[in-house]
Amino acid sequence: VTTKKHANGLEYVEINTAQCKARIFLQGAQIDYFEPVGKEPLLWVSSADDYQVGSGIRGGVPVCWPWFGMSPNPGFPQHGFARTSIWTLDSVKMLDEAVEVKFTLPISDSDTQYWPHDTSVELLFRLSETLSVSLTNINHGDYEVSLTQALHSYFPIEDIHQLTATGFSDSKYIEFGKGPFNQAQDDVDFNRETDRVYTNLGPVQQLHTRKGIIEVSRENSHSAVLWNPWIDKSQRLSRFNDDDYLSMVCLEAANVLEDKVTLAPKESHTLTTHIRWK
């Protein structure tokens, strides 16, 4: 495990063990590469991203915190400020079958405009043949705080026209501000812009790609976001090629809408997502 500096000055941790290769940037505590030894990489990054300071990376697992989507406050950044902040690398633990890398988010004075509460937030990566990411919020204050969050994972799916996502039976979702719509069927195919905020969703979904099945599971979450920008939005997105929608999908472990996190004083909550080739 070594820490290095990227060409543009972004610092990252590089992991290379018998189980996996991975790279995690201190900006956003954002993992952008994860490959189990002997298998295909499990995360996708756009070739259009040039790894600039302050913009986050278009791929891997961006951390959306302390709100998902647009903030109710005008001018606040979409998906919160954690993904463009420099996190502190706390520890790297070499275990028998895995490496654990822990980051904490220092809340700067300027951040308190967005988040004036006495809490701490940690991100723990457990890297083996499976990628596990855990986002923990601890309320140190003396009043209740609520937040929404998501681990905005980008997956390489080869060909969106041949992708089927399963594990969605008996759920409901809001899309483009409409709904909620009940979904009885288990699978989702893709033939247009898809931006579904699911709630009441089971803990395990699978992405059936041409290179195998990517299994994504969640703990302490009943909500997730399924997103493919399709043709028109791809042309409007920053750091994204027009044809990138063909080879990626986002399936994001979340705590959003009625599944938001509410912490009583001294209470903590951990959102975990596990990502692996089935």
Whether the Cβ atoms of residue 174 and residue 180 lie closer than 8 Å to each other: yes
Binding of residue 250 to ligand TA6 (CB under 6 A) = yes
CA triple 246-192-244, angle to 5 deg:
20
Whether the Cβ atoms of residue 2 and residue 81 lie closer than 8 Å to each other: no
* 119, two tokens: 């809490």
Applying the rule CB under 6 A, the residues between 150 and 179 that interact with ligand TA6 are 152
> Which of 32, 244, 252, 259 lies at the binding interface for ligand TA6 (CB under 6 A)?
252
- Beta strand segments in 66-222, E: 88-94, 99-104, 119-127, 131-139, 145-147, 149-151, 154-156, 164-166, 171-175, 178-183, 187-189, 194-199, 204-209, 212-219
Query: Which lies closer to ligand TA6 via its Cβ, residue 69 or residue 180?
Result: 69
Binding of residue 196 to ligand TA6 (CB under 6 A) = no
Minimum distance between the CB of residue 239 and ligand TA6, rounded to whole angstroms?
8
Binding of residue 51 to ligand TA6 (CB under 6 A) = no
Binding of residue 79 to ligand TA6 (CB under 6 A) = yes
Query: Which lies closer to ligand TA6 via its Cβ, residue 59 or residue 167?
Result: 59
Whether the Cβ atoms of residue 242 and residue 232 lie closer than 8 Å to each other: no
- Residue 58 assigned ligand-binding role: yes
- Residue 276 assigned ligand-binding role: no
Applying the rule CB under 6 A, the residues between 8 and 47 that interact with ligand TA6 are none
Q: How many CA atoms lie within 13 A of 141 on its CB side?
A: 15
Length of the chain in terms of residues written: 278
Minimum distance between the CB of residue 22 and ligand TA6, rounded to whole angstroms?
21
Minimum distance between the CB of residue 149 and ligand TA6, rounded to whole angstroms?
12
Minimum distance between the CB of residue 175 and ligand TA6, rounded to whole angstroms?
10
Query: Which lies closer to ligand TA6 via its Cβ, residue 36 or residue 60?
Result: 60
Total number of residues that touch ligand TA6 (CB under 6 A) = 10
Q: What is the largest CA-CA distance in the chain?
A: 51
- Residue 78 assigned ligand-binding role: yes
Q: Which residue is nearest to ligand TA6 (CB)?
A: 227
Task: Supply the DSSP symbol for 18.
Answer: S
Binding site for ligand TA6 (CB under 6 A): 69, 78-79, 152, 195, 225, 227, 237, 250, 252
